[in-house]
Amino acid sequence: METAETTALELIVEKHRKALRRGFRIWPELSYGKPPALGDRRWTADLILSTWLQAETGELPRNGLEYRFGASGGGFDVLDFQFLPPGRWTPASVVIDTSIPLNRRPYDPRIDIPVPFYGAGMSYGSVSERIMLARAMAAKAWNTFTSTGEGGYPPSLAAHKEHVITQIATGLFGVREETIQYARVVEFKYAQGAKPGLGGHLLGAKTTVAVAKMRESPPWVSLFSPFPFHSVYSVEDHRKHLDWVKTVNPDALVSVKVSTPTDVDMVAVGSYYAGAHILQIDGGYGGTGAAPEIAKKIIAMPIELAIPKVHRYLLGEGIRDEIVVLASGGIRTAYDIAKAVALGADGCVLGTVELVALGCTRCSNCERGRGCPFGLTTTDPELERLVDPEWGAWRLGNLYSSIQGQLRDILRRLGLRSIRELRGRTDLLVYRGNGARGG
Ligand code: SF4
């Protein structure tokens, strides 16, 4: 039955189509001086709209919107699956398993999550506390995780601490012993794919009194996290960091988030020997509007190349089944997740797609003025109120449900019974060719 929400969404879709008919174009470089209507080549208008629709309804669009591919002409957009004929699909009676473990070592706690993804670090300051709360509530409802990012741990999150990853980043903003002790997973952020080698940056206008208090800094000044950790220059230093966390919280799993330099395979092996349970390799397609375009496009290795490089190197070293590899950085769809797994990841970490589910239009105004006009990447007390955490958690839950359903459908059509069987199956992928635009 058609709901008021879907009707509203249909109106947005129609508005978008009218804008296109009036001569607005989706991509700035094709706009002939006119402003783009919505989206860009990676996050096309169709992908944004179909993500909104999934967040509203938990279902896929039935009006022809493209929900699988962007139009970047590269990366995941030129890869597709080679599905089996229907007679060879996994029977409908089989419940396809989408769970993954977060610890593959024979010791330390075993934590499984029912979906092959969790939420990426987004700091208090880069997003509002209400967004963090919405993400934590959704993580709890789905028995998965979300990460604090590097700006500290607002007390309101403590009610969901079983599902909140405490991040420790290079600026050590807001790092406290008690929030390391809260966590079942602690994440070291060495770098992020959207701005490798550049550290983090929070503009003074977003460093409100509350944000500054959490970060133990003066308010209204820009805050920089350096690159790299100035205490880590070797695998041994890396190990000392992990040992520090294990001393404070012996039961925590440790995740290491790195970008994708050309020697990312060496970084992966070093992280394993330092004791990491999870390696998160973060490619350059992600980031909010705050990340400089030149850094996103030029500095790091594309994630679709980094994943198989890491997977194969760990296999060759005989340690692939002792460390969990998660891919992040611009994972937009269930199809992107499945492709990352087929390339060799165990699962993914989702960032921007969660903001899109909450209403992000990809306008790139995250770091301008009072921040996001939709109340997402802002610390302005008035704008923040635009998002109700319960509403946000409900939308994220709908998105997760839709993604899980699509993953099951993909696996069924590949004749597989679990997401774990897909890992490293590059033979199931086909190249769609340059200029592929979905459909
Ligand atoms: S809608 Fe908000 S979160 Fe999305 S890009 Fe624009 S300012 Fe950033």
pLDDT at 219 over 70: yes
d(CA 347, CA 311): 12
Mean pLDDT of 224-245: 82
With a 6 Å cutoff on the Cβ, whether 406 touches ligand 1 is no
- Nearest protein Cα to ligand 1, atom 8: 366
The single-letter code of the amino acid at 193 is: G
Phi, psi of 116 (to 5 degrees): -80, 45
d(CA 399, CA 380): 27
Q: How wide is the angle at C-alpha 293 spanned by C-alphas 371 and 298, nearest 5°?
A: 155
pLDDT band at 11 (very low <50, low <70, confident <90, very high): low
Instruction: Name 118's bridge partners.
Output: 349
d(CA 343, CA 429): 9
d(CA 288, CA 59): 25
Q: How far is CA 261 from CA 93, 264, 276, in A?
A: 44, 5, 19
Tens of pLDDT, residues 335-390: 999 999 999 999 999 999 999 999 999 888 887 777 798 999 998 889 999 999 99
Q: How does DSSP classify residue 110?
A: -
> 354 C-alpha to center of ligand 1: Å?
12
d(CA 388, CA 378): 14
> Which residue intervals of 217-333 are DSSP H helices?
235-248, 264-274, 293-298, 303-316
> 387 C-alpha to center of ligand 1: Å?
13
Phi, psi of 5 (to 5 degrees): -65, -45
Q: Of all residues in the chain, what percent carry a pLDDT higher than 70?
A: 86
Mean pLDDT of 408-435: 93
With a 6 Å cutoff on the Cβ, whether 288 touches ligand 1 is yes
Which atom of ligand 1 lies nearest, measured to the CA of 362? 5
> Which H helix or E strand runs over 186?
strand 185-189
- Nearest protein Cα to ligand 1, atom 4: 360
Half-sphere exposure of 364 (CA within 13 A, CB side): 10
With a 6 Å cutoff on the Cβ, whether 352 touches ligand 1 is no
pLDDT at residue 30, as a whole number: 43
Secondary structure class of 285 (helix, strand, coil): coil
- Tokens 């419940």 — which residue? 95
Domain architecture of the chain: domains with CATH: 4-67 (no CATH), 100-431 (3.20.20.70)
Secondary structure class of 104 (helix, strand, coil): coil
pLDDT band at 1 (very low <50, low <70, confident <90, very high): very low
pLDDT at 28 over 50: no
Half-sphere exposure of 260 (CA within 13 A, CB side): 30
With a 6 Å cutoff on the Cβ, whether 365 touches ligand 1 is yes
pLDDT at 205 over 50: yes
- Nearest protein Cα to ligand 1, atom 1: 360
d(CA 129, CA 374): 14
pLDDT at 310 over 90: yes
Query: Residues with Cβ < 8 Å from 250, sequence gap 6 or more?
Result: none
Secondary structure class of 266 (helix, strand, coil): helix
Counting ligand 1 atoms within 8 A of each CB, the residue from 363, 379, 386 with the most, and so the one to mutate, is 363
Which atom of ligand 1 lies nearest, measured to the CA of 377? 3
Cα 339 to the center of its chain, rounded Å = 15
Which atom of ligand 1 lies nearest, measured to the CA of 361? 1
Secondary structure class of 383 (helix, strand, coil): helix
Tens of pLDDT, residues 246-276: 999 999 999 999 989 889 999 999 999 999 9
Counting ligand 1 atoms within 8 A of each CB, the residue from 123, 358, 360, 384 with the most, and so the one to mutate, is 360
pLDDT at 2 over 60: no
- Tokens 């459908």 — which residue? 409
Mean pLDDT of 329-333: 94
DSSP 8-77: HHHHHHHHHHHHHHTT--SSGGGSTTSPPSS--SSS-HHHHHHHHHHHHHSS--SSS---S--S-SSGGG
Phi, psi of 164 (to 5 degrees): -115, 125
Neighbouring C-beta atoms of residue 296, cutoff 10 Å: 21
> Which H helix or E strand runs over 130?
helix 129-141
With a 6 Å cutoff on the Cβ, whether 289 touches ligand 1 is yes
pLDDT band at 94 (very low <50, low <70, confident <90, very high): very high
With a 6 Å cutoff on the Cβ, whether 368 touches ligand 1 is no
* pTM for the full predicted model: 0.89
